[in-house]
């Protein structure tokens, strides 16, 4: 068939100008050449196409519109066109394949329309062709979630005609040969009707309700449903017009830019940098063939589960048999659940095999592991004791990681004989679900240790973000002023449900008070007692609402003193149906308690509007972000944004806190902070950071240029 086939595709990414022109030229040439009987389209280097170059969407008119006519050209060809899909066929890549009359895929190929994840919809007629091919429910699922489906599933759905284990191109050529001369009309998707559903209207209505609930203010999923609805209600050409209209709306919504920024930010943070010039490009990771986890509380259980899922043999250690058995049961339950979600189930995970997962109380069994993750509770003395023991037992090359959310990595490292191999790995709960891994280097941490921790994050399918050592690191340090403002707002007249509502409407998965109830108020209470901010070590005569000359709210401490720890005790900032319950209901007791508290402290209650709630919480968090950047704790604003999107439920369609600040406008953030700071001079978190002021003074450059305005390289970097 060599004479009758044409390979006209060549790039994994559709760099539109060159690629589309080549595709058009190739198709026209093939059409005009009587010796060509069929056309096969494939990619280069084992990849069909990852779709359009996402960076190109900043100039949509120039690039975007050109793909649809090409897809139509393919479909209307008088000669059969077969797509040979290897690697990935995503976005515009899959839309090209949908224009073809036949699709052959390699068994390992993946397909999807991920445009929704970058704030768009499949704008080259994908929302109109896919439902015609695989029906509305399956098409809607792919288009609104953007998920990549494996070839086997694509075959079941009818998205591809054949899958092969061997040479996809040869198989596609074989198929092309076979279908020469067969009628093409039934293979042209634009001519097919959308398969009917008995309850189409109800189905689409429910789908819209579901995506709206899940999207929390993100527009793209909703508009995807509207585009698919158009396919069910209108002829193909009109559906395409509607798709284009909706695409245009998304393109100008601002959300697409935020989501595309987030896509590249997540990839940018892999290129880490640390003190002394060490970086991702020069440091090589050590292999991790076996790991250990110390402590099987909530965090340890999730970490063990993550490691087992990543196929890394684990030794799980507890202090005594009682805790060990409790931990073992919980881990097994988590793993059973994870196995059920996986193809191949328990056999794939193999967690009943002691060579893959071993439970022990014997520290000596840690002598041959390559990496230890200590996950005991946040107590410096205990952690130091464990690290001292580890440095005696573990082999010389072993990496010693501490799962801490705030403690000083250098102090923990000082208890060992190998501070260069000590590193912070801050997991987020539940650790087998949450994608973020904050990786904290100490003063002596070696580049190899950082590279190994980053490699571990990748193996665990997490996003590793390398940051410097300070109290709370990046995520929690930015969270402190945010939560502090939320509590101050209660003192001044607001209620937990009002504050949560504003932040959840903004797009947070959960507001600060619901979050605090979920995490447990006792966690922060313990830490504040350790810091001497409350409890028996507080100096007599300390004013109730002041610490170290700054405003302090004792409200969370007072709740803890009442035994209100949140969900676990059935009462916290809200009331719950029972201890351990999850349904938060506003609590009249708390409202009375707040009134009495204000009376006791002579605070005049006032109405606080949504704007003030949002600005005080978010701008104080962002302000701390500028401090972190200025101190060199993180090497760029993308790091902060990736941390917030993946670890703190920040709405991705707003691009992360620092990106959000850039869209609000730095002068506005500064002006508002100045205003609130004047009203609350005893709150340092509201005092505009010098770096923010500087950026405004130099006329608010684009976010990617911010770091170049730091006058001196921070000693941390």
Ligand X SMILES: CC(C)(COP(=O)(O)OP(=O)(O)OC[C@H]1O[C@@H](n2cnc3c(N)ncnc32)[C@H](O)[C@@H]1OP(=O)(O)O)[C@@H](O)C(=O)NCCC(=O)NCCSC(=O)/C=C/CCCCCCCCCCCCC(=O)O
Catalytic positions, please? 95, 115
Q: Is 8 in the site for ligand X (CB under 6 A)?
A: no
What Å distances lie between residue 86 and 82, 308, 352, CA to CA?
13, 30, 36
What Å distances lie between residue 464 and 147, 280, 456, 625, CA to CA?
22, 12, 8, 18
Q: Is 73 in the site for ligand X (CB under 6 A)?
A: no
Q: Which of 171, 175, 179, 26 is nearest to 96 (CA)?
A: 26
CA distance 11 to 26: 14
**Residue span binding ligand X (CB under 6 A) among the ranges 242-250, 327-335, 614-622, 639-647:** 242-250
Interface size with ligand X, residues (CB under 6 A): 27
CA distance 111 to 146: 10
Token pair 């082999």 is found at 395
Residue of 48, 102, 247, 261 that binds ligand X (CB under 6 A): 247
Residues 6+ apart with CB under 8 A from 690: 630
Q: Are 105 and 151 in contact (CB under 8 A)?
A: yes
Residues 6+ apart with CB under 8 A from 344: none
**Residue span binding ligand X (CB under 6 A) among the ranges 113-121, 326-334, 508-516, 536-544:** 113-121
In the complex with ligand X, the residue whose CB is nearer, 83 or 412, is: 83
String marking each residue 280-319 x if it binds ligand X according to CB under 6 A = ----------------------------------------
Return the structure tokens found at 59.
């100039």
In the complex with ligand X, the residue whose CB is nearer, 93 or 302, is: 93
What Å distances lie between residue 619 and 481, 623, 624, CA to CA?
9, 6, 9
In the complex with ligand X, the residue whose CB is nearer, 334 or 456, is: 456
Backbone angles phi, psi at 7, to 5 degrees: -95, 105
For residue 268, the minimal CB distance to ligand X (Å) is 7
Return the structure tokens found at 161.
């005609």
Q: Is 267 in the site for ligand X (CB under 6 A)?
A: yes
For residue 484, the minimal CB distance to ligand X (Å) is 36
CA distance 220 to 31: 38
In the complex with ligand X, the residue whose CB is nearer, 160 or 415, is: 160
For residue 27, the minimal CB distance to ligand X (Å) is 18
Tell me the helix, strand and coil percentages in the chain, rounded to 5: 55, 10, 35
CA distance 604 to 499: 18
In the complex with ligand X, the residue whose CB is nearer, 106 or 564, is: 106
In the complex with ligand X, the residue whose CB is nearer, 95 or 222, is: 95
For residue 65, the minimal CB distance to ligand X (Å) is 5
Q: Is 264 in the site for ligand X (CB under 6 A)?
A: yes
Residues recorded for the chain: 717
Q: Are 256 and 57 in contact (CB under 8 A)?
A: yes
Residues 6+ apart with CB under 8 A from 56: 15, 16, 62, 63, 64
In the complex with ligand X, the residue whose CB is nearer, 26 or 56, is: 56
CA distance 398 to 416: 12
**Residue span binding ligand X (CB under 6 A) among the ranges 86-94, 374-382, 558-566, 575-583:** 86-94
Q: Is 80 in the site for ligand X (CB under 6 A)?
A: no
Q: Which of 475, 456, 502, 471 is nearest to 612 (CA)?
A: 502
CA distance 682 to 686: 9
Q: Is 461 in the site for ligand X (CB under 6 A)?
A: no
**Residue span binding ligand X (CB under 6 A) among the ranges 117-125, 171-179, 450-458, 507-515:** 117-125
Residue of 176, 251, 398, 630 that binds ligand X (CB under 6 A): 251
For residue 112, the minimal CB distance to ligand X (Å) is 8
Residue of 115, 517, 612, 624 that binds ligand X (CB under 6 A): 115
Beta strand pairing call for 88-90 and 110-112:
parallel
For residue 642, the minimal CB distance to ligand X (Å) is 13
Residue of 118, 436, 465, 487 that binds ligand X (CB under 6 A): 118
Q: Is 499 in the site for ligand X (CB under 6 A)?
A: no
For residue 248, the minimal CB distance to ligand X (Å) is 3
In the complex with ligand X, the residue whose CB is nearer, 24 or 410, is: 24
Q: Which of 104, 111, 110 is nearest to 172 (CA)?
A: 104
- Residue 154, Cα to own-chain centre: how many angstroms? 26
For residue 247, the minimal CB distance to ligand X (Å) is 4
- Helices assigned H by DSSP within 493-571: 496-506, 512-519, 521-530, 555-561
Strand partners, 360: 317
Backbone angles phi, psi at 102, to 5 degrees: -140, 155
For residue 423, the minimal CB distance to ligand X (Å) is 23
For residue 172, the minimal CB distance to ligand X (Å) is 21
Residue of 43, 80, 99, 114 that binds ligand X (CB under 6 A): 114
Q: Is 23 in the site for ligand X (CB under 6 A)?
A: no
Helix and strand totals (H; E) in the chain: 29, 19
In the complex with ligand X, the residue whose CB is nearer, 54 or 439, is: 54
In the complex with ligand X, the residue whose CB is nearer, 23 or 251, is: 251
Residue of 43, 80, 99, 123 that binds ligand X (CB under 6 A): 123
CA distance 14 to 88: 12
CA atoms within 13 A on the CB side of 278: 18
Residue of 23, 90, 105, 559 that binds ligand X (CB under 6 A): 90
CA distance 412 to 680: 37
String marking each residue 92-111 x if it binds ligand X according to CB under 6 A = x-------------------
In the complex with ligand X, the residue whose CB is nearer, 16 or 363, is: 16
Say what angle helices 512-519 and 521-530 make with each other, to 10 degrees: 80
Q: Is 244 in the site for ligand X (CB under 6 A)?
A: yes
For residue 118, the minimal CB distance to ligand X (Å) is 6
In the complex with ligand X, the residue whose CB is nearer, 46 or 570, is: 46
CA distance 170 to 178: 12
**Residue span binding ligand X (CB under 6 A) among the ranges 83-91, 395-403, 470-478, 525-533:** 83-91
Tell me if residue 573 falls in helix, strand or coil: coil
For residue 85, the minimal CB distance to ligand X (Å) is 13
Q: Is 440 in the site for ligand X (CB under 6 A)?
A: no
Q: Is 652 in the site for ligand X (CB under 6 A)?
A: no
Say what angle helices 67-76 and 92-99 make with each other, to 10 degrees: 20
Q: Is 394 in the site for ligand X (CB under 6 A)?
A: no
String marking each residue 30-69 x if it binds ligand X according to CB under 6 A = --------------------xxxxxx----xx--xx-x--
Q: Please report, as ranges, the residues that interact with ligand X according to CB under 6 A.
A: 13, 50-55, 60-61, 64-65, 67, 88, 90-92, 114-115, 118, 123-124, 244, 247-248, 251, 264, 267
């Amino acid at each position: 068939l060599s004479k009758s086939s044409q390979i006209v595709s060549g790039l994994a990414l559709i760099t539109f100008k060159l690629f589309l022109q080549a595709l058009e030229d190739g198709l026209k040439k093939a059409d005009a050449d009587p010796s060509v009987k069929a056309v096969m389209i494939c990619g280069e280097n084992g990849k069909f196409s990852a779709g359009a170059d996402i960076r190109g969407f900043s100039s949509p008119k120039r690039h975007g519109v050109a793909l649809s006519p090409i897809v139509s050209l393919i479909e209307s060809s008088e000669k059969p066109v077969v797509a040979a899909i290897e690697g990935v066929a995503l976005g515009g890549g899959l839309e090209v394949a949908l224009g073809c009359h036949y699709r052959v895929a390699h068994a390992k190929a993946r397909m999807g329309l991920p445009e929704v994840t970058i704030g768009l919809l499949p704008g080259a007629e994908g929302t109109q062709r896919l439902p015609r091919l695989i029906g509305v429910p399956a098409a809607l699922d792919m288009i609104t979630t953007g998920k990549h489906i494996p070839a086997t599933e694509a075959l079941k759905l009818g998205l591809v005609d054949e899958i092969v284990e061997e040479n996809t191109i040869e198989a596609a050529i074989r198929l092309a040969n076979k279908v020469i001369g067969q009628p093409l009309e039934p293979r042209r998707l634009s001519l097919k009707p959308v398969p009917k559903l008995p309850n189409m209207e109800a189905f689409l209505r429910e789908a819209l309700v579901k995506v709206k609930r899940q999207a929390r203010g993100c527009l793209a999923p909703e508009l995807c449903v509207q585009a698919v609805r158009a396919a069910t209600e209108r002829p193909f050409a009109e559906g395409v017009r509607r798709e284009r209209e909706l695409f245009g709306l998304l393109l100008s919504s601002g959300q697409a830019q935020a989501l595309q920024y987030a896509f590249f930010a997540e990839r940018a943070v892999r290129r880490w940098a640390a003190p002394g010039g060490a970086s991702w490009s020069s440091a090589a990771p050590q292999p991790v063939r076996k790991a250990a986890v110390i402590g099987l509380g909530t965090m340890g259980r999730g970490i063990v589960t993550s490691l087992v899922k990543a196929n890394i043999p684990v030794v799980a250690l507890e202090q005594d048999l009682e805790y060990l058995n409790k931990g073992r049961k919980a881990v097994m339950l988590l793993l059973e659940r994870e196995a059920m979600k996986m193809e191949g189930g328990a056999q794939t995970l193999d967690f009943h095999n002691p060579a893959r997962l071993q439970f022990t109380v014997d520290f000596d069994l840690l002598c041959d592991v390559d990496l230890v993750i200590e996950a005991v509770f946040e107590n410096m003395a205990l952690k130091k004791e464990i690290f001292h023991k580890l440095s005696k037992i573990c082999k010389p090359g072993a990496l010693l990681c501490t799962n801490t959310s705030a403690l000083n990595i250098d102090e923990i490292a000082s208890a060992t004989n190998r501070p260069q191999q000590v590193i912070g790995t801050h997991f987020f709960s539940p650790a087998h679900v949450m994608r973020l891994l904050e990786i904290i280097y100490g003063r002596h941490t070696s580049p190899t240790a950082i590279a190994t921790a980053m490699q571990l994050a990748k193996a665990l399918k997490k996003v590793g973000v390398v940051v410097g050592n300070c109290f709370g690191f990046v995520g929690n340090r930015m969270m402190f002023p945010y939560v502090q403002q939320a509590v101050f707002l209660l003192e001044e007249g607001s209620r937990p449900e009002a504050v949560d509502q504003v932040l959840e409407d903004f797009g947070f998965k959960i507001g600060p008070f619901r979050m605090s109830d979920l995490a447990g108020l006792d966690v922060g209470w313990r830490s504040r007692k350790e810091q001497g901010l409350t409890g028996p070590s507080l100096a007599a005569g300390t004013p109730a609402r002041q610490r170290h000359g700054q405003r302090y709210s004792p409200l969370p401490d007072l709740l803890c003193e009442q035994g209100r720890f949140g969900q676990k005790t059935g009462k916290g900032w809200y009331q719950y149906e029972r201890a351990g319950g999850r349904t938060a209901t506003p609590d009249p007791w708390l409202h009375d308690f707040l009134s009495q508290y204000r009376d006791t402290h002579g605070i005049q209650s006032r109405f606080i509007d949504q704007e003030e709630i949002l600005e005080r919480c978010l701008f104080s968090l962002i302000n701390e972000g500028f401090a972190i950047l200025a101190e060199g704790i993180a090497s760029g604003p993308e790091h902060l944004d990736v941390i917030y999107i993946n670890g703190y439920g920040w709405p991705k369609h707003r691009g992360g806190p620092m990106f959000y600040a850039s869209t609000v406008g730095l002068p506005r953030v500064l002006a508002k902070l100045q205003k609130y700071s004047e009203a609350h001079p005893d709150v340092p978190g509201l005092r505009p950071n010098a770096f923010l002021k500087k950026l405004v003074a130099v006329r608010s450059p684009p976010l990617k240029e911010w770091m170049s305005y730091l006058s001196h390289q921070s000693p941390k970097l």
